[in-house]
Chain A
Amino acid sequence: MKRALTVLGALALATTACSGSGGNVPGAGTGKGPVTVRWSTWGSAEDVKVYEKFTEDFQRRHPDIRLKLESVAKYEDYHPKLLTQLTSKTAPDVIFVGDDYIGKFVSSGVITPLDDKLAGPDSKSRPEDFFDGVYGGAKRDGKIYAVPNDTNPEVLWYDKKALKDAGITEDPATLNESGQWTMPKYLDMNAKLKAAGKAGSIFWNWYGSTYSMINGFGGKVWDGGKFVATTDTKAREALSTLAKGYQDKTFLSADTLPDSNGPSTQFLKHKAGFYAGGRWVVDSLRKGGELDDYDIVPFPSPTGDPMPGAVAASYLALNKDTKLPKEAFTFLTEFVGKEGQMLRLQGGGAVPSVKGAEQVVLAEGYPKHAQTFIDVRDTGFANYPEEVAVPGLTAAINEQLLKVWSGKVGFDQGMTELQQLVQSKLG
């Protein structure tokens, strides 16, 4: 009996030892000392350094709140982790959500509607401070569930030297200002670049480039809740032009270029005329380019009139199960507010999603037509709500299109498969 009691005692001790400190619930405050607000995002150690300044400033102004950043290095790995955290009720208080997943998180009810809070007295960012187009899937039935923390309007960077080498005398930005920046003109420049032994354009294989091209042909991607990119005549013409361009190397897919000779390297070496990207390209150019050689222009339209361009956005949302709703919102509203964005976006990276912070983009005077970023943001669109409501749909569309671009699948077959794929994902 004595031995049994000893064993029981040992087991009890072991159980206690293994149970950890019961009161240490993540994010929960004790009422004494500062509380810790956990927040999560993606990005490498270098990427997340841009948040250090904001964090220091925030903690100085709110000594009762500590911020704990939980970052995942790769975007592809971030949402799977977030999903498991949300399912197990261990997700951070404030969460970054990508524009291709926001729709799902909204519809599943795991994030808090923000309308009242954003309109409340503690808010540093009102609902109307953000452009309607960039809410994308973060808005549902008129309710705001997440706020764009910054944006990256997709524009065409162009290399003046490469264009000149190819015998192109017209300047795309000047053409744009005079309302003559049309799709035929752009394709003609690409053909000249190709004839000069260069690539016309480099695109990342994502909706920003693809759907901007479809828009440039006057086509539609989604219409009335239906995916029509493969059936709409003009959209199909755009996709066919892209497919032919990729196969005859007029266009290069940045996704398939080797790391050692990637899109930035090719662009810096004047091997391509255009490179589709956001404000983040500035960082690449600063690392080795002659800055004056480069400028930006929106994607061309069919007639030269301005048209909406794609805007990449990521969102900041409040975990519905947060134990610190007040402190978490304080962080959220300041992070996405004007001052917060200006602090974070100095020098490059992205374009503020909030009105009134434009000078952070324009102050440096680079690129020459930096105003284009603002124009595209103000009239642009985030990925379609129908598309972002289905997790993995955007990635599946891109994957299928890459097969078409690379010629692994013929164009007509590829389009049929794409339509079937979207329909099967939509259920």
Chain B
Amino acid sequence: MAVLTRARPRAGRRRAPGVRNRDGWWAAFFLAPQVTALAVFLVFPLGFAVVLAFMRWDGLGRKEWAGLDNFAAQLSDPEFGLAVWNTVKLALLTVPVGLALALLIALALNNVRGGSFYRVLYFMPVVTSSVAVALMWQIILAGDESGVLNNSLRSWFGLTPPDWLGDTGWVIVSIAVVTIWSSLGLNVVIFLAGLQTIPPQIVEAARMDGAGSLRIFRSVILPLLSPTIFFSTVVAVISSFQAFDQIYVLVRPEDNEGARTIVYQVYELGFKDFEFGMSSAAALILLALTLLVTLVQFAAQKRLVHYDS
């Protein structure tokens, strides 16, 4: 008891100015590496990109002021419009389907024996290199005789399947399948963590009150899991807006415009066309779009997300 009393901070205790200053310097000293790294690797590049969006620069020569020309050019460019539409389609396909599937699997794993084994199994694609994943799916989805899926569909069912990666209409669906497959594990683990925070007593009480499994899911689990679902939705939307590496390896959007996403547009403008101003403008428009969608999600969560247990 005496120890506790001594450890409690004494109210109203004032420290000498010298001590305060010394603590401040130490704090600054220890924070300096982190702040410096943030400034060098985050704030400066972001600021540079913002400035570049208002310039003309080929990456090698002089920069020239362009005003809002880059934004105007991008907003009136049909390729940019196509990239936005493809990105939105990808988000609409991957986010609801991916999250619903992950939730179903998490619900199944929540009560299964050997859950750790399945968790590892589902999480494996997440820790696999995205390039390796893309190459593997390239072999599966190839439209010619080398495609595993199409070969099977032809020989087993006599079907005439489309060229999943070559067809402008189907390519975004194929990309969505690969994206869902590779991100499923992460969402499953997040949902499982969320499910394990739900007190079993509440579920038990609902069951004793005569609620069936579906009712328990709809009226107990879903509301209590809504903060987790909200978090996963925000992350999934942002990820789908930033999709690039898998698409680049899987399809190469210059060969199939159905796979052109905003980030590919940013890459092509900057590193293939050497138009870094235009590229930065496209990146800023993407940032604004992501911010807008996230704000809408945050506005919606006030009504849909329950933080009280």
- Name A residues whose Cβ lies closer than 8 Å to a Cβ of B: 4, 76, 79-80, 83-84, 86-87, 104-105, 107-110, 255-256, 258-261, 391-392, 395-396, 399, 408, 424-425
Q: Does B255 contact A (CB under 8 A)?
A: yes
List the A residue with the shortest CB-CB distance to B78. A417
Given A391-B273, A395-B272: A86 touches B145 (CB 8 Å cut-off): no
A84 touches B255 (CB 8 A): no
Chain A residues with CB under 8 Å of B143's CB are: 258
Binds A, one of B57-65, B101-109, B175-183: B57-65
Bound form: Cα–Cα A186–B167 in Å: 32
CA distance A425 to B73 in the complex (A): 11
Give the docked Cα–Cα distance between A80 and B59 (Å).
10
- Asked whether, in the complex, the Cβ of A108 is within 8 Å of the Cβ of B58, the reply is yes
Q: Which residue of B lies closest to A259 (CB)?
A: B144
Q: Are A83 and B254 in contact (CB under 8 A)?
A: no
B168 contacts across to A, CB distance below 8 A:
408
A80 with B271, Cβ < 8 A, contacts A258-B144, A259-B144 known:
yes
Contacts of A424 in B (CB 8 A): 73
Closest Cβ–Cβ distance, residue B270 to chain A (whole Å): 8
Asked if B89 CB lies within 8 Å of chain A CBs, one says no
Residue of A nearest to B255 (CB): A255
13 cross-chain CB contacts under 8 A: A79-B272, A80-B267, A80-B272, A83-B271, A84-B271, A104-B58, A108-B58, A108-B61, A258-B163, A259-B142, A259-B146, A391-B58, A424-B73
A358 CB to nearest chain B CB (Å): 36
- A87 contacts B254, C-beta separation under 8 Å: no
User: Restricting to B126-181, which residues have a CB under 8 Å from any CB of A?
Assistant: 142-146, 163, 166, 168
B230 CB-CB contact with A under 8 Å: no
B146 contacts across to A, CB distance below 8 A: 259-260
| Interface residue B274 (Cβ < 8 Å from any Cβ of A) | yes
Lowest 8 A-B CB distances belong to which pairs? A258-B144, A392-B273, A80-B271, A108-B60, A260-B144, A391-B274, A260-B145, A108-B61
Q: A87's closest neighbor in chain B, by CB? A: B59
Report B213-251 CB contacts with A as 1/0, cut-off 8 Å.
000000000000000000000000000000000000000
Is B272's CB under 8 angstroms from A392's CB?
yes
Knowing A76-B252, A104-B58, the reply to whether A83 touches B274 (Cβ < 8 A) is yes
Q: Name the distance in Å between B59's Cβ and chain A's nearest Cβ.
A: 5
Q: How far is the CA of A4 from the CA of B59 in the complex (A)?
A: 44
Of residues B60, B254, B267, which shows the largest number of chain A Cβ atoms within 10 Å of its Cβ? B60
Which residues in B have their C-beta under 8 angstroms from that of A107? 61
Nearest CB in chain B to that of A390: its residue: B273
Contact A76 B254 (CB under 8 A): yes
Residues of A with C-beta under 8 A to B274: 83, 104, 391-392
* Residues on A with beta carbons closer than 8 Å to the beta carbon of B255: 255
Q: Choose one: A87, A256, A391; the contact of B272 (CB below 8 Å).
A: A391
Cβ-closest chain B residue relative to A399: B254
Q: Shortest distance in angstroms between A177's beta carbon and chain B's nearest beta carbon?
A: 39
Residues of B within 8 A of A (CB): 26, 58-61, 73, 142-146, 163, 166, 168, 252, 254-255, 267-268, 271-275
Chain B residue with minimal CB distance to A15?
A: B33
Which residue of B59, B143, B145 has the most chain A CB atoms within 10 A of its CB atom?
A: B59
Contacts of B73 in A (CB 8 A): 424
Distance of A33 Cα from B166 Cα, bound (Å): 53
A275 smallest CB distance to B (angstroms): 19
Query: Roughly how many angstroms separate A391 CA and B270 CA in the complex, as a whole number?
Result: 10
- CB < 8 Å neighbour of B60 from A86, A395, A408: A86
Cα-based distance from A4 to B267 in the complex (angstroms): 46
Q: What are the residues of chain B within 8 A of A399 when measuring CB–CB? A: 254
Please name all residues of chain B whose beta carbon is closer than 8 Å to the beta carbon of A260 when the two chains form the complex: 144-146
The distance in angstroms between the C-alpha atoms of A258 and B275, with both chains bound, is: 32
In the complex, chain A residues whose CB is within 8 Å of the CB of B275: 392
User: Shortest beta-carbon distance, B17 to chain A, in Å?
Assistant: 20
Specify which chain A residues have a CB less than 8 angstroms from the CB of B252 in the assembled complex. Answer: 76
Are B60 and A87 within 8 A (Cβ)? yes
| Residues of A contacting B144 in the complex (Cβ-Cβ under 8 angstroms) | 258-261
Q: Tell me the minimal C-beta distance from A231 to chain B in angstroms.
A: 22
A159–B252 Cα distance when bound, in Å, is 32
CB distance from A277 to the nearest CB of B (A): 20
Assembled-state Cα–Cα distance A104/B276 (Å): 14
- Shortest CB distance B134–A (Å): 14
- Give CA–CA (A396, B265) in the complex, Å: 13
19 more A-B contacts (CB under 8 A) besides A104-B58, A258-B145? A76-B272, A80-B272, A83-B59, A83-B60, A84-B59, A86-B59, A87-B60, A105-B60, A256-B166, A258-B144, A259-B144, A260-B144, A260-B146, A391-B273, A392-B275, A395-B254, A396-B273, A424-B73, A425-B273
For A84, the chain B residues whose CB sits under 8 A away are 59, 271
Contact yes or no, B142 A109, CB < 8 A = no
Q: How far is the CA of A259 from the CA of B163 in the complex (A)?
A: 12
Is A392's CB under 8 angstroms from B142's CB?
no
- Shortest distance between the CB of A77 and any CB in chain B (Å): 9
Which A residues touch B166, using CB under 8 A? Answer: 256, 258
Give the nearest-CB partner of A391 in chain B. B274
A256 to B166, CA, bound (A): 9
Q: How far is the CA of A396 from the CA of B77 in the complex (A)?
A: 13
Nearest Cβ distance between residue A266 and chain B, in whole angstroms?
A: 13
CB closest chain-A residue, reference B146: A260
Interface centre among A109, A110, A259, A425 (most CB of B within 10 A): A259
* B65, chain A: closest CB distance, angstroms: 15
In whole angstroms, how far apart are the Cα atoms of A294 and B144 in the complex? 27
Tell me the complex Cα distance, A392–B254, Å.
11
How many Å lie between the Cα of A261 and that of B275 in the bound state? 37
The residues of B that contact A105 with a CB separation of less than 8 Å are 60
With A and B bound together, what is the CA distance between A398 and B275 in angstroms? 19
Q: Which residues of A are found within 8 Å of B58, using beta-carbon distances?
A: 104, 108, 391
Closest to A256 in B: B166
Cβ contacts under 8 Å, A258 to chain B: 142-145, 163, 166
Nearest-CB residue, chain A, relative to B163: A258
Known: A261-B144, A399-B254. A392 touches B61 (CB 8 A): no
Distance in angstroms from A315 CB to nearest chain B CB is 16
Given contacts A83-B274, A260-B146, contact A392 B268 (CB under 8 A): yes
- Nearest CB to that of A79 among chain B residues? B272
* A256, B61: Cα distance in complex, Å: 36
Query: How far apart sit A76 and B58, CA to CA, in the bound complex (Å)?
Result: 18
Residue of A nearest to B271 (CB): A80
When C-beta atoms are compared, the residue in chain B nearest to A108 turns out to be: B60
A110-B58 Cα distance, complex, nearest whole Å: 12
